[in-house]
Structure formats: C-alpha cells, structure tokens
C-alpha cells in the first residue's frame, strides 16, 4: 500500500490528519493542520484534495474537514510498521479490580430491590393529573379526556366545545 507516489509534504499531511482524527474523532480541517505543518492553509487544502482524489481521505460534506478512509488507515498502519514508530503498548488492565467493582455494584443494587414475592412494587408516588385551565374566551378546549379537579382523575368528555356556564 505504501507504493503510492506521495510527496513528503503529502505524506506528512496524511499522517498528521490521521493522528488528529484518531485522537479527536472529528473531521480535520486545514485550519487545524496549519499549526502543525509548515505550509499555508491553501496549500494544505490542495494537498488534502489530492489525498482525497487518491482515496486516502474522504470529505463527508462541503463544510467539514477530512476523515480517513480504510485505504488511509491501511497506509497509516503500514507506515507505522515500516518505520518502527509503534506507540508504546497500553498498560494491562487489571481484570480482578474491574470484576470486583462490578460485583460490588451488583450486590449493592440487588440489596436495594424488594424481596421476591413480596408483592411490593416501586415506591414512586403515582402521578395525579392536574386540572386544565380554560382559555381566556371561556371556551373548553376540545379533547378526548378532561380532568376532574376535585378527584384528580381523568374521565371521558364530549368533544364539542363548551362555554362556561
């Protein structure tokens, strides 16, 4: 894959674009690369366009920066393997510690649940419907349900508009 004819500047722009995209997850624009590469914004845009035309980068939409394609990732990995510039290995995760934390969280959660067969449901208070206010003209809004303010329950009402009587 590294048999592409890229100039040193194109190679540097591609590798920097991939590194930034991998670290941020956001499309990379020329304004971000200007700080990292010794070239003008218009030169970087032209090189990004060339890298897009050879299939190493993609341009999701007009106002977005560039994102790597599968071919671009392959080029990046090949460059890492050839140059021996592999990043240091990540520290090993201590699975015992993670397993213990998950077990503690599960134990705490199950202790807070009601015992099976107790018939007790959630202790959340039930919602009570609030009475609706009538519009300023005194006409009842048409709806399939109304609210009894004293009892706080919903009941079926006539759909025709009413006036306050």
What would the pLDDT profile of 4-62 be if each residue is shown by its tens digit? 788 999 999 999 999 999 998 899 988 889 988 888 989 999 999 999 999 999 988 87
Question: Is 85 inside any structural domain?
Answer: yes
- The whole domain housing 95 covers 1-110
The better pLDDT of the pair 98, 91 is held by 98
Domain tally, the chain: 1
Statement: residue 128 has pLDDT above 70: no
Q: What is the CATH number of the domain that holds 11?
A: 1.10.10.10
User: Which three-class secondary structure state does DSSP give residue 147?
Assistant: strand
Cα 114 from Cα 120, distance rounded (Å): 7
State the average pLDDT over residues 56-70: 88
Question: Is 56 inside any structural domain?
Answer: yes
Question: Is 86 inside any structural domain?
Answer: yes
Question: What phi and psi, each to the nearest 5 degrees, are found at residue 25?
Answer: 80, 5
On whether the CB atoms of residues 66 and 27 are closer than 8 A, the answer is: yes
State the average pLDDT over residues 110-135: 66
Question: Is 127 inside any structural domain?
Answer: no
The confidence score (pLDDT) of residue 162 equals: 53
Question: Is 135 inside any structural domain?
Answer: no
Question: Is 21 inside any structural domain?
Answer: yes
The confidence score (pLDDT) of residue 87 equals: 61
Question: Is 33 inside any structural domain?
Answer: yes
Question: What phi and psi, each to the nearest 5 degrees, are found at residue 49?
Answer: -65, -40
The better pLDDT of the pair 95, 31 is held by 31
Question: Is 126 inside any structural domain?
Answer: no
State the average pLDDT over residues 107-125: 72
The confidence score (pLDDT) of residue 52 equals: 92
């Amino acid at each position: 894959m590294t048999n592409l004819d890229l100039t040193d500047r194109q190679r540097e722009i591609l590798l920097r674009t991939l590194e930034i995209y991998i670290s941020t997850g956001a499309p990379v624009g020329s304004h971000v690369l200007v700080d990292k590469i010794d070239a003008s914004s218009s030169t970087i845009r032209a090189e990004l366009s060339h890298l897009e035309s050879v299939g190493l980068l993609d341009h999701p939409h007009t106002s977005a920066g560039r994102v790597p394609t599968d071919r671009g990732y392959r080029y990046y990995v090949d460059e890492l393997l050839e140059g021996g510039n592999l990043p240091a290995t990540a520290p090993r995760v201590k699975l015992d510690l993670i397993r213990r934390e998950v077990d503690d969280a599960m134990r705490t959660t199950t202790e807070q649940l009601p015992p099976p067969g107790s018939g007790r449901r959630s202790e959340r208070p039930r919602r009570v419907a609030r009475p609706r206010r009538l519009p300023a003209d005194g006409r009842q809004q048409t709806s399939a349900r109304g609210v009894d303010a004293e009892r706080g329950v919903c009941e079926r009402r006539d759909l025709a508009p009413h006036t306050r009587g």
